[in-house]
Amino acid sequence: MDNNTSTGLYTLSVLTEDKAGLLNHITIIFTRRKINIDSLNVSSTEVHGVSRFTIVTKTSREMIDKVIKQIRKLIDVLDAFVYEDHQIHYQEIALYKVPTKVFLNGNKIESLVRNNGALILVIEEDYIVIEKTGHKNETQDLFNKLEPYGVLEFVRSGRVAISMSKRKTTTLIQQLEESTANKLSIDSY
């Protein structure tokens, strides 16, 4: 099967000006192409006034290249990049709420938490909140192990990723500001 048409998991890193309404413009690009967003995280960057959208989706290389091209055309987008898992460092965080009583039946559950690299975040009278940072399969694995003990609530964040490239965001912004094709100035923001 052609690599351009086979489905793969892609992480998009989109650098934008910190402006309201941009999330809607970006998600519309996916909606129009009927591409589901698996996870979405928006955060500030080391550059004041610049945000990073981290979007994870499953699609073909051909389709993701079209999406990136469209995203780059948006006014407040500074640049956008596509990565495969081997090109980034990434993590997710998961929280699990379990009944406190399961900890009273010996230290099996406590060992389970410790052996999975998780932390006990909160201890309340009726429940305990456990935190696990890792890849999706790791946080799901802990959920599967805790499920027999009665998980009251479970939530997993979107992916947070950083590229393995040596590119610095500040250098990229500087290059954009110096470019005659781009009239953007973060300093005037």
Contact 56, 158 (CB under 8 A): yes
In a domain, 142, yes or no: yes
Q: What pLDDT band is residue 173 in, cutting at 50, 70 and 90?
A: confident
Residue partners of 123: CB distance under 8 A and separation at least 6: 100
What pLDDT is attached to residue 37?
Answer: 96
What domain range is 49 assigned to?
7-83+163-188
Which residue did the predictor score with more confidence, 147 or 107?
147
Residues 73, 119 within the same domain: no
Q: Is the pLDDT of residue 174 over 70?
A: yes
Residue partners of 135: CB distance under 8 A and separation at least 6: 90, 91, 92
What pLDDT is attached to residue 2?
Answer: 52
| CATH number (domain holding residue 153) | 3.30.70.1150
Q: What is the pLDDT of residues 7-65, one digit of tens each?
A: 999 999 999 999 888 999 999 999 999 999 999 999 999 999 999 999 999 999 999 99
Rounded to two decimals, the pTM is 0.81
Residues 55, 27 within the same domain: yes
Q: What is the pLDDT of residues 116-169, one digit of tens each?
A: 999 999 999 999 999 999 999 999 999 999 999 999 999 999 999 999 988 777
Residues 74, 96 within the same domain: no
Residue partners of 42: CB distance under 8 A and separation at least 6: 23, 51, 52, 53, 54
DSSP secondary structure code for residue 47 in this structure: S
In a domain, 130, yes or no: yes
Residues 124, 67 within the same domain: no
Residues 79, 168 within the same domain: yes
- Number of structural domains (the chain) is 2
Helical pair 22-32 and 61-72, crossing angle rounded to 10 deg: 150
In a domain, 34, yes or no: yes
Residues 152, 116 within the same domain: yes
Q: What is the pLDDT of residues 85-102, one digit of tens each?
A: 999 999 999 999 999 998
Contact 11, 56 (CB under 8 A): yes
In a domain, 2, yes or no: no
Contact 121, 96 (CB under 8 A): no
In a domain, 1, yes or no: no
| Euclidean distance between CA atoms 63 and 45, whole angstroms | 27
Considering only CA atoms, which of 174, 183, 181, 180 is closest in space to residue 50? 174
Residues 96, 154 within the same domain: yes
| CATH number (domain holding residue 79) | 3.30.70.260
